Amino acid sequence: MPWVSTLILIPLVTALVLAFVPARDRRTARGIVLVGSFLALAASIVVLALFDRDLAVLQQVDHLDWIPAAGVSWDVGVDGISIWLVLLTTVIFTLGVILACQRLPQQRGGIFLALIMLAEAGLLGLFTAGDLILFYVFWEFMLIPFALLIWNWGGSERRSAGMIFVAYTMVGSLLMLVAIVATGIIAMDHTGQLSFLMRDLMGVPYGEATATVLLAGFLLAFAIKIPLWPFHGWLPRVYSQAPIVVTILLAAVMSKAGVYGLLRVGVPMFPEGIGNLLIPVAILALIGIVYGSLLAWRAPTMRLLVGYSSVAHLGFIVLGIIVIDRLAAQGAVLQMINHGIVAAAAFVIVMILARGTGTEDIDRLGGLARGAPRLAVAFLFVTMAALALPGSNAFVGEFFILGGVFDQYAWMAVIALLGVIYAAVYMLRMYQGTMNGPPRGVQDGGRAAEMTARDAIVLVPLILMMAWIAVWPNSIVAPTRASTDLAVAPAQIVLERPTDQIGVLPDRAAAVGTASEPPPGAAGVRP
């Protein structure tokens, strides 16, 4: 059974079916979308169950020729990096769909849900693509549903927000297309045939100059999507204008597309180019961490605060990948998942608060904890996770990243630490500003903002997942190890890092189909 292809097709078919539901029949639309998203979730769990954690290469591959003459094929599968992102996508989208069903837009709710399903299909395809062209296809594919969601259901400035979103992303992605084409054609000299399969392109010696140029082409697209400073111009407008459900999906899942591309395509495919771009990209990431944190500190609304904090957190993830270190890379993968869950939870809380009080301005709120104790507890939990307090799930991820970065470039770790400190400042500002102090913003002491049972359906699973990762991070990290090691190993060799860094080089073992030794060094423990 081609499970991975099925996984992508389920939301696609759901969207198609939804398009045929009459606009009036909102109940049917809700039913269909819930069934569709739960089926996708179930399929992703099946894929996880079939996943072999010792294998570093792409597994459960479905391959179908599309345009053989141009070397393009439908090639999807999962590896240790993508498996969790696939699960994150299906989980967050299921929760997002539940949220969307709870407050379905009056106008064309069915189409709203159909577009969300299309976006899910795009993201699932992106995270499983084994062919560069297919990767690009899905990269662009998800843009249209997201743009239409913003355009039709967003805030008062939705038009310009949607346009900025599309224009920014297209600039990057079309140059990426040129880079993809160039990669395939240059690689043809080595492989003898035109192919865009990532596994064929891996290990092609491009030479330092060529690899740098090609990597830069990819990096621009990734940087815009991440968004890496100074390419974050689209983020404030889009995050604040999009319907909140869409903002949740954008922040929790779509923001991972760029970092995923960096780890899946950029680093392993062009190791010779990393040497030239490592420091510049790391500096951009560091600026993003500090600058994003400062913006979050001064952000007027809760939504913008969480949005800007994403810039900082994603800066951490980029740093973890670009310094080329096993530990940091594993931390980056873990942090992708953490950020997805925490950002989603934070936005859900923003949504509950905004619904209860009618405002998202931090300065116009206060003392809500008295009337909304359950929300206050949940919010506190999320705040702790967002500022990566020891014992929270994000702490483990940040610790991995900072540990790895410190090993390579101590100064970078020192600057990045600023981000950790600032996180405490802005998250506590938001928490204290809204929950503590004299009651402000609502008449009934905040009872309107209390978490209802319907909110809990969405929020509680997120908090449980945070707790799970906080207690047992190795359950997430262990399956990713083989694949992250394989991804950073070529760059480590090029950078002439000490060989003990590289681990067991799982590619050799995995390539012949035998299970590799579990890499030495348990989570977080380093000599």
Partner 1 sequence: MSAATVLALVLAVVPLPSTWRRLPEWVGFAGIVATLALAVAQWGERQVAFSGELRIDRFGLLLTWIILPAALAAILFSWGEPSAAGRRPEFVGLVLAAATGMMLTVMSGDLITLFIGIELLSVALYILCAIEVSRERSRESGLKYLITGSIGTAILIYGFALLYGATGTTSLTGIALKLDTMDGLLTEPLLVAAIVLIVVALGFKASAVPFHMWTPDVYQGAPTPVTAFMGTGTKVAAMGAFLLVFTGATQQASGDWRALIGALAVVTMVVGNVGALMQGNIKRMLAWSSIAQAGYLLIGVAVGTAAGAEALIYYLFAYVAMTLAAFAIVMLREREVEAGDTQVAFTGFGRARPWAGVVMTLAMTSLAGFPPLPGFVGKFLLFGSAVDAGMSWLAIVGALASVMSVVYYLRVVIVMWSPAPEGARSARRLRVPLSVASVAAAGAVAIIALAVWAQPLLDLCAGAARALVIP
The footprint of partner 1 (CB under 8 A) covers: 65-70, 107-108, 133, 136-137, 140-141, 143-144, 147-148, 151-152, 159, 162-163, 166-167, 170-171, 174-175, 177-178, 181-182, 184-185
- Least distance CB 212 / partner 1 (angstroms): 15
The smaller minimum CB distance to partner 1, of residues 214 and 376, is found at 214
- Least distance CB 255 / partner 1 (angstroms): 21
| Cβ–Cβ < 8 Å for 77, 60 | yes
The smaller minimum CB distance to partner 1, of residues 163 and 377, is found at 163
- The 3-state secondary structure of 2-50 reads CHHHHHHHHHHHHHHHHHCCCCCCHHHHHHHHHHHHHHHHHHHHHHHHC
Of the candidates 338, 147, 315, which has an alpha carbon nearest to the alpha carbon of residue 246? 147
The smaller minimum CB distance to partner 1, of residues 137 and 418, is found at 137
- Least distance CB 1 / partner 1 (angstroms): 23
Residue located via tokens 């960096």: 262
The smaller minimum CB distance to partner 1, of residues 54 and 140, is found at 140
Which residues lie below 8 Å from residue 292, measured CB to CB, with a gap of 6+?
229, 232, 308, 309, 310, 311, 312, 313, 315, 419
The smaller minimum CB distance to partner 1, of residues 160 and 452, is found at 160
Torsion on CA atoms 372, 376, 379, 385, rounded to nearest 10: -170
Contacts by residues 180-189 (CB-CB < 8 Å, ≥ 24 positions apart): 180/132, 180/133, 180/135, 180/136, 180/218, 182/214, 182/217, 183/132, 183/214, 183/269, 184/71, 184/132, 186/210, 186/214
- Least distance CB 68 / partner 1 (angstroms): 6
- Least distance CB 234 / partner 1 (angstroms): 14
Angle in degrees, 0-180, between the axes of helices 3-19 and 26-49, rounded to the nearest 10? 180
- Least distance CB 420 / partner 1 (angstroms): 37
- Least distance CB 111 / partner 1 (angstroms): 9
- Least distance CB 237 / partner 1 (angstroms): 16
Which residues lie below 8 Å from residue 271, measured CB to CB, with a gap of 6+?
211, 490, 491, 493, 494, 495
The full DSSP string for 127-157 is: HHB-BHHHHHHHHHHTHHHHHHHHHHHS-TT
- Least distance CB 354 / partner 1 (angstroms): 24
The smaller minimum CB distance to partner 1, of residues 106 and 443, is found at 106
Residue located via tokens 């989570």: 523
| Cβ–Cβ < 8 Å for 423, 386 | yes
